[in-house]
Structure 1
């Protein structure tokens, strides 16, 4: 009998190899399915929270505007060509091709309702300089909003809308409980596309930006673009944890780094504006700098940490408490200062008049210094809206007229009328009336003087279209205006 070992056939080997491959593929599929099962589903969260998110559109006089689009020309050039055509075209809602070349500047943004009685939070830069603010809800209701107040330092604005019905409101969370790696999502109107949902994770917390060191921003990788500003940032509980405010960009568009105002700080600002009409922040009165490795070694620290006092301002709370240049603040009310940027938000959130305890390193020795926190200069009052100057002779029409000079009358070929000297936001600009137009007829009544124009204008019916006959460059045309 032979002692040879039986060999497996080629067919058997192929079958075994195929089985192994199949098992491997199934294992990968099961792993992918398990991973997918752990990813968050935002569907219900979006349904539950979209109603309280609003679109905000503003108009302002061209003379006060920095531009009629929600982003500048450099940013616009980064967009696809069809977007550029949309924003620049003659039918653009941003008025680039509107008659006269000086339409009201328009901008857009987002916001959210925080109370049943109609308070809305958004960014200050969304409504800054606006003459009119319109809030549109998800059910397409549109309401004029009153600007209650703004806080440019935190880039926040508080609006008030009125409605007979109960308004949908968001649920407010706690930004202090956020941790890097958490899932978050935003709802807003990037580039005017209403109720767009984007998601990502918290990249970092407590970020200090060069433009504002009193706000410890939340950094995320949620896609934020022009139009998202002022919209809410939600956590997976459906609670608002931040207000989307800024992006880091070199192209004008989203690059994976966006910043949100923590809702804890935002609600504090909101309540102060609503209840007191002003925002008070704590003030220490020192100029600080980062402690690097070399400075840490020279001051006797084992590692870089703390905030180095470079200068103490005269008559400041710090000077009165005995703080000195060269001190390194290591703790503030028991909280460690790791980076110098940690200190300003802590001081800013301390109530004015409260005594804070600082642990400082001075001359190699640690000591405690108690400081009565003052009020940050420049925060004495929240910036309330500046009332528009009333039109002296155009009333609610949004225009000003003056007597028609003899030379202008002959040049236009008319024997009566008044000259439009200025057009602001309102029915006149919506009708297409421009400075330089000659109004010869209003509501089918001839206009021969400024006094006559004023009298006819004061008797116009509200919410009813009226005709206006204007002469422009020697040609007469009828326009329709709705006071």
Structure 2
């Protein structure tokens, strides 16, 4: 199992429709949903071959600064004094106000705003300040912690300026972009740069398909807008890569297509609809290809398919090399996961792959995320749900769904339904992260597992 290196389950996989389908989705069949996103026309021209001095950024900046807001997050934490508790038995505490700040982007004239989940996490109160200094209390509509996106709503006394969404799949490396944020509750701040890379995988537990830019972004700019030279949204600035916590050259944004899909799901369903292809595998490179004895050095190598998944039903099998999804070329895992993240369960994707040096294409219907199961030493593992989180008072972990190991049958009553918290001292966040952990562990290697049994007892086992 080691030789496949960073083998992991492709189970991010949730989908928004393409731009045309998106428009149809909101304006056509789904009459109960509400459209809050405006999509830009696809046929805009690019400033190709021009240096920064030859490009006028003022139009894009003027369009965007009025759509970017300051987000203030107020939370309260109860503090206690151990000395008072010890000497006087005083067990009360004082509430201490904590304030966090970030940026957000207005996406509709009636006050819907998109920002980062981490900007508003655990907020008791959320205050929005517009670029004209007007302030409003905001309501949290929904969040997606995995993708670090949140949707807010304010009730303004006027129609608000808002951003339009560009197709982030059409963004080109080297294209000029502006990063706009409102970090200090003054007015919106604009920085310029270029797209440094697309589908960048930072090995996080959530999204793995960032747009990378060298436009300066600092912590207070989280949730702000990344726009093209027409002022159209191509991403939500979400993080920087820095040991100091300040900008040192690279910033990252959640692509607009993924952001738009998350907004759509939250507005329609109240949560994000995730789906999966249902495959495990690894992206190819020169060394892996040589080890596997194949000629291809790019694409996604399928190690196995999940039982009952769309991939299995479509006939995908071990050894297939995925090179294209619909019209999108696939060379890396980040490109694969990024594209599937713009789709929903039950959407059909045309999967082009190489098998025995022949190129083939089959339609695959994306499965619901709840069928995603990891298997380890006879334990079938699945993601926990909201009920599990509330029952065990946890926000991560994977549940033991079933036991297929005869050696563990005597412990079945304690293990079935238990929640695994860590494997080998690594946090078991979800099925996806567990699959990645297990891909680097030899099947014959003994590993310590920490779990919570169904009666709430925390135990450690060596498997």
Q: Tell me the distance in 2 between the aligned counterparts of 1:165 and 1:197.
A: 25
Give 1:357 shift: 3.1
Tell whether the 8 Å contact from 2:143 to 2:149 is kept in structure 1 after alignment: yes
How many residues are matched? 315
| Number of the residue aligned with 1:155 | 148
2:166 equivalent to 1:166: no
1:41-68 deviation line (CA, Å, top 9, x unaligned)? 434543343222110001112159xxxx
- Secondary structure of 1:346's aligned partner: helix
Matches within 5 A, 1:74-89: none
TM-score (norm 1): 0.59
2:244 equivalent to 1:251: yes
| Number of the residue aligned with 1:305 | 298
- Counterpart selection for 2:62 from 47, 59, 79: 47
Matches within 5 A, 1:319-398: 319-377=312-370
| Number of the residue aligned with 1:126 | 119
2:200 equivalent to 1:185: no
- Counterpart selection for 2:220 from 213, 221, 227: 227
Go from structure 1 to structure 2 and tell me whether the alpha carbon gap of 1:300 and 1:359 turns closer, same or farther (over 3 Å shift): farther
| Number of the residue aligned with 1:19 | none
Tell whether the 8 Å contact from 1:124 to 1:157 is kept in structure 2 after alignment: yes
Q: Tell me the distance in 2 between the aligned counterparts of 1:107 and 1:160.
A: 18
Which ranges of structure 2 fall in alignment gaps of 5 or more residues? 1-49, 80-92, 373-382, 390-463
Bigger Cα displacement from structure 2, 349-358 vs 250-259: 349-358
Go from structure 1 to structure 2 and tell me whether the alpha carbon gap of 1:366 and 1:185 turns closer, same or farther (over 3 Å shift): closer
Give 1:243 shift: 0.8
Go from structure 1 to structure 2 and tell me whether the alpha carbon gap of 1:168 and 1:378 turns closer, same or farther (over 3 Å shift): farther
Q: Tell me the distance in 2 between the aligned counterparts of 1:170 and 1:354.
A: 28
1:14-67 deviation line (CA, Å, top 9, x unaligned)? xxxxxxxxxxxxxxxxxxxxx988443434543343222110001112159xxx
Over the aligned positions, Cα root-mean-square deviation in angstroms equals 3.0
- Secondary structure of 2:201's aligned partner: strand
Q: Tell me the distance in 1 between the aligned counterparts of 2:271 and 2:371.
A: 11
Matches within 5 A, 1:188-199: 188-190=181-183, 194-199=187-192
Q: Tell me the distance in 1 between the aligned counterparts of 2:273 and 2:173.
A: 30
Q: Tell me the distance in 2 between the aligned counterparts of 1:62 and 1:306.
A: 48
Give 1:129 shift: 1.0
Which ranges of structure 1 fall in alignment gaps of 5 or more residues? 1-34, 65-99, 387-483
Go from structure 1 to structure 2 and tell me whether the alpha carbon gap of 1:370 and 1:177 turns closer, same or farther (over 3 Å shift): closer
- Secondary structure of 1:353's aligned partner: coil
Tell whether the 8 Å contact from 1:288 to 1:340 is kept in structure 2 after alignment: no
Q: Tell me the distance in 1 between the aligned counterparts of 2:194 and 2:301.
A: 33
Query: Quick check: which has more Rg, 1 or 2?
Result: 1
Q: Tell me the distance in 2 between the aligned counterparts of 1:381 and 1:178.
A: 36
Give 1:273 shift: 1.2
- Counterpart selection for 1:266 from 259, 262, 268: 259
- Secondary structure of 1:227's aligned partner: helix
Q: Tell me the distance in 2 between the aligned counterparts of 1:45 and 1:342.
A: 28
Give 1:314 shift: 3.2
- Secondary structure of 1:61's aligned partner: strand
Q: Tell me the distance in 1 between the aligned counterparts of 2:344 and 2:210.
A: 20
Matches within 5 A, 1:55-66: 55-63=70-78
Give 1:364 shift: 4.8
Go from structure 1 to structure 2 and tell me whether the alpha carbon gap of 1:49 and 1:334 turns closer, same or farther (over 3 Å shift): closer
Tell whether the 8 Å contact from 2:324 to 2:330 is kept in structure 1 after alignment: yes
Give 1:332 shift: 2.4
Tell whether the 8 Å contact from 2:257 to 2:342 is kept in structure 1 after alignment: no
TM-score (norm 2): 0.62
Bigger Cα displacement from structure 2, 289-298 vs 268-277: 289-298
Q: Tell me the distance in 2 between the aligned counterparts of 1:324 and 1:177.
A: 31
Go from structure 1 to structure 2 and tell me whether the alpha carbon gap of 1:276 and 1:295 turns closer, same or farther (over 3 Å shift): same
- Secondary structure of 1:330's aligned partner: strand
Give 1:266 shift: 1.2
- Secondary structure of 1:323's aligned partner: coil
Go from structure 1 to structure 2 and tell me whether the alpha carbon gap of 1:40 and 1:334 turns closer, same or farther (over 3 Å shift): closer
Q: Tell me the distance in 1 between the aligned counterparts of 2:384 and 2:290.
A: 43
Give 1:304 shift: 0.3
Tell whether the 8 Å contact from 1:119 to 1:159 is kept in structure 2 after alignment: yes
Tell whether the 8 Å contact from 2:147 to 2:206 is kept in structure 1 after alignment: no
| Number of the residue aligned with 2:279 | 286
Give 1:186 shift: 1.7
1:321-368 deviation line (CA, Å, top 9, x unaligned)? 333333322332353321233222222323321333323334555444
Q: Tell me the distance in 2 between the aligned counterparts of 1:369 and 1:238.
A: 38
Which structure has the higher relative contact order (CA within 8 Å, separation 6+)? 2
Give 1:161 shift: 0.4
1:367-425 deviation line (CA, Å, top 9, x unaligned)? 44442211224999999xx9xxxxxxxxxxxxxxxxxxxxxxxxxxxxxxxxxxxxxxx
Bigger Cα displacement from structure 2, 171-180 vs 206-215: 206-215
Q: Tell me the distance in 2 between the aligned counterparts of 1:205 and 1:158.
A: 24
